[in-house]
Structure 1
Amino acid sequence: MTWPALLDRCRRLPPACFAPVMATGIVSRALAQAGARAASALLFGLAVAAYLTLLTATVLKTVHHRTALGAELRDPAHLFGHFTLVAASGVLATRLAHGQARVAAYALLAVAAAVWATLAAAVVGLGRSGGRGLLRQADGTWFLATVGLQALVLTLSSVRTGPAALMVALVLWGAAVLLYGVTLTSVVLRLLRDPPGAAALTPTYWITMGAAAISTLAGAQLLAHEGLLPHPAQGLLDGTVLVLWAWATVLIPPLLAAGVWRHLHQRVPLTYELALWCIVFPLGMYATATAQLATARRISALTSAERPLVWAAATVWLAVGARYLAARLRPRPVGG
């Protein structure tokens, strides 16, 4: 591939291109918790390789195609997809937070924090210029801002467990929960005013559940260090984590029903699209959060559900991966 062709390919890089990385990374963690070490290591290796490749391409896009990137950051349909870089960095960092790889975890934390702050500023700028018109475009991708912020909480509470770091993580966790509530309100109001058709009801709405699940996981991870947290915050944290897990659980049936309605009733073809990874990530995150909550609160019923949830997430990962390979290997038409 020539250099101009490579740069053009970087220009066309989708904003949410890190979605497969965050999905693969969290399923890898879930498999590790379930004891499937070999499968976990394989998926983690794939996630790291994909992350480094996409990060290099993103840097090239930033350097050589600033106009195209700037246009994406001013478009709410594309802006929120860039938060997948933050989430992917955080998911990988939590696996590297111990031992000799700790330095890499700090580097990923720095990348995630810088990117989240930059994107948050872009969102604020959109809000000032777009006003109420912006809310008419609210969809499932908006929850990626919450996912990214909670990924920062997970990383910070993994690499630093001192009182000061945990207090910062607790404040960020609370801010992310509030952000989730604001986003949920915006998306629900938009859906009530302008219900999407079958074609627009994409898998990105699964991020609604994924954001609740990662908030549960981050909160449960903080609960593991509750002795270092202020006493008044412990009870509130504990109760909120349980509510978030219950809410994530409640969301699963309607999300499944929406998929059945879209593909079986409305006949929308189930072809490969990048948004399919937005189903894998929430399922992997839900399995991981359930296991972490069961450990933190010693809930035996949740412990028994861990393995079925993990293997369900791994099965969906395999299904989406197979569709991706089939789409890549399908012969292109002459002249296409």
Structure 2
Amino acid sequence: MNNKSSTHSLNSAHFIFRVRELVKNLPPAYFAMVMSTGIISISCYLLEMDLLAHILFWLNLWFYLSLWVLSLLRIFFYHKDFFRDMIDHQKGPGFFTVVAGSCILGSQFIIISANYSASFILWIIGLILWVILNYTIFTGFTVKENKPPLEEGITGAWLLAVVATQSIAVLSTLIAAHMEQPYKLQMNFLALCMWLWGGMLYIWMISLIFYRYTFFRFSPGDLSPPYWINMGAMAISTLAGSLLISSTEAAPFLQSLLPFLKGFTIFYWVTGTWWIPMLFILAVWRHIYKRFPLKYDPLYWGAVFPLGMYTACTFRMADAMNLHFLDKVPEYFIYIALAAWLAAFSGFLHSIYNQLNWLIIKPSGTR
């Protein structure tokens, strides 16, 4: 009896230990899964694929809540590791996925379920986290004594700061459409400010990233999936600009900026479009020419998101600016985005299966 009791206690302790190990190693950028699923759900809804849009919406809500539970457990049990990651040049920018994931889920609540209360709560969460993370991460990067060289410190993940900023602009315009004055005007002004700041931030960061691309040795291992955010940051900037263009009647000050809004929105879209062939070529170079193994990594969600966002932003831009010759682009591009999502989700399920097996394997010496 005592042997059975001690064995049960040992197995329980072993299980708890392994759960804590999984929580300890949770990547900060895992909320990119919420970003990717959310924007593909929205794209499906815009293209009248309603059933798929609703399935992805509810799945995404489960992802979001589950990741918050795991993140809070990580803060509770491993707060030193959590906050150390926040000012790590490689891992720190991944925290911005929490902001973007919150705002994209909030956009889903408005567009798909017309739940304005939930979207407003997520907007508040996103805005508060945006302020905290911006000034914590970039202050930490600035004042820390031991800093990596440029070729080791900067990646495409840095542009998640741009995505987070623009996600607030997007959700602000969507919420503003259902507000009364003067709040409608104020929300659109906030959206404009975020859109402009996101553009400035992209210019700063992409200059360093492109410099690192072209003047430092570039190995297949360096080309991590978050480099797709080079395109995704421009795609969400296009989406935010398109929504601002559509909001000019509700916010008269935007009317005077209309030529500027249209010009920069197309500028963002063209820049994002330029990145697509470049990133595909580099992916072929990495995985086919250099034979870098293609296996599941949570970072691959950062490559799925831009494909879904490009679909949504092209649809919105074509609608806002009467560029209907572009309508075929999202109609076909959505299938590329869905294929990428399915590949990442299959890898995620396989990873979960392996982790569950690892959790339930009995420690040696027990039966």
TM-score range, shorter chain: over 0.9
What is the SS of the residue equivalent to 1:97?
helix
- Tell me if the contact between 2:314 and 2:326 (Cα under 8 Å) persists in the aligned partners: yes
Deviation per CA, 1:79-127, whole angstroms, max 9, x where unpaired?
A: 0011111111111101213776222111111111121111111233134
- 1:167 and 1:229 in contact (8 A); partners too: no
Query: What secondary structure sits across from 2:220 in the alignment?
Result: coil
TM-score (norm 1): 0.93
**Match runs of 1:296-315 below 5 Å:** 296-315=320-339
Q: Does 1:24 align with 2:40?
A: no
Q: Work out the CA distance in 1 between the residues paired with 2:87 and 2:272.
A: 31
Summarize the alignment of residues 51-200 of structure 1 with structure 2, pairs less than 5 Å apart: 51-97=64-110, 101-129=115-143, 135-136=150-151, 137-161=153-177, 162-200=184-222
CA contact (8 A) 2:29 2:94 kept: yes
In 1, Cα distance between the equivalents of 2:343 and 2:27?
21
**Contact 1:76–1:134 at 8 Å: present in 2 too?**
no
Contact kept? 1:126, 1:134, Cα under 8 Å: no
Q: Equivalents in 1 of 2:166, 2:217: separation in Å?
A: 29
Structure 1 residue 315: Cα displacement:
1.5
Instruction: Identify if the C-alpha distance between structure 1 residues 5 and 320 changes in structure 2 by more than 3 Å, giving closer, same or farther.
Output: closer
Structure 2, unaligned runs of 5 or more: 1-11, 178-183
Structure 2 matches for 1:140-289, cutoff 5 A?
140-161=156-177, 162-227=184-249, 228-230=251-253, 231-289=255-313
Moved more, 191-200 or 74-83: 191-200
TM-score (norm 2): 0.86
Shift of 1:138: 1.3
User: Does 2:316 align with 1:325?
Assistant: no
Secondary structure at the counterpart of residue 18 of structure 1: helix
State how far apart, in whole Å, the 2-side matches of 1:183 and 1:59 are: 30
Q: 1:229 to 1:252 in 2, by over 3 A?
A: farther
Name the SS of the counterpart of 1:177 in structure 2. Answer: helix
Distance in 2 (CA, whole Å) between partners of 1:275 and 1:133 is 21
Q: Matched residue of 2:26: which SS?
A: coil
Cα shift at 1:279: 1.6
Deviates more, 1:302-311 or 1:40-49: 302-311
Partner Cα distance (1:148, 1:305) in 2:
25
C-alpha deviation, 1:328, in angstroms: 3.7
Displacement of 1:8: 4.1
Report deviation, 1:165.
1.2
CA contact (8 A) 1:127 1:134 kept: no
Distance 1:4 1:100, change over 3 A: farther
Question: Structure 1, unaligned stretches of length 5 or more?
Answer: none
Bigger drift between 61-70 and 136-145 goes to 61-70
- More off after superposition, 255-264 vs 311-320: 311-320
Moved more, 77-86 or 323-332: 323-332
Shift of 1:10: 2.4
Q: Deviations over 1:208-243 (max 9, x none)?
A: 100000000011011111222423321111100001
Aligned partner of residue 28 in structure 2, secondary structure:
coil
CA distance in 2, matches of 1:199, 1:175: 31
Alignment partners' CA distance in 2, 1:188 and 1:105: 36
Q: Distance in 2 between matches of 1:259 and 1:49?
A: 31
Identity rate, percent: 27
Question: 2:287·2:294 contact (CA, 8 Å) conserved in 1?
Answer: yes
Shift in alpha-carbon separation, 1:285–1:21, aligned structure 2, 3 A: same
Larger Rg: 2
CA-atom RMSD in angstroms: 2.2
Tell me, yes or no, if the aligned pair for 2:89 and 2:148 is still in contact at 8 Å: no
3-state secondary structure, aligned to 1:16? helix
CA contact (8 A) 1:79 1:119 kept: no
How far did 1:262 drift? 0.3
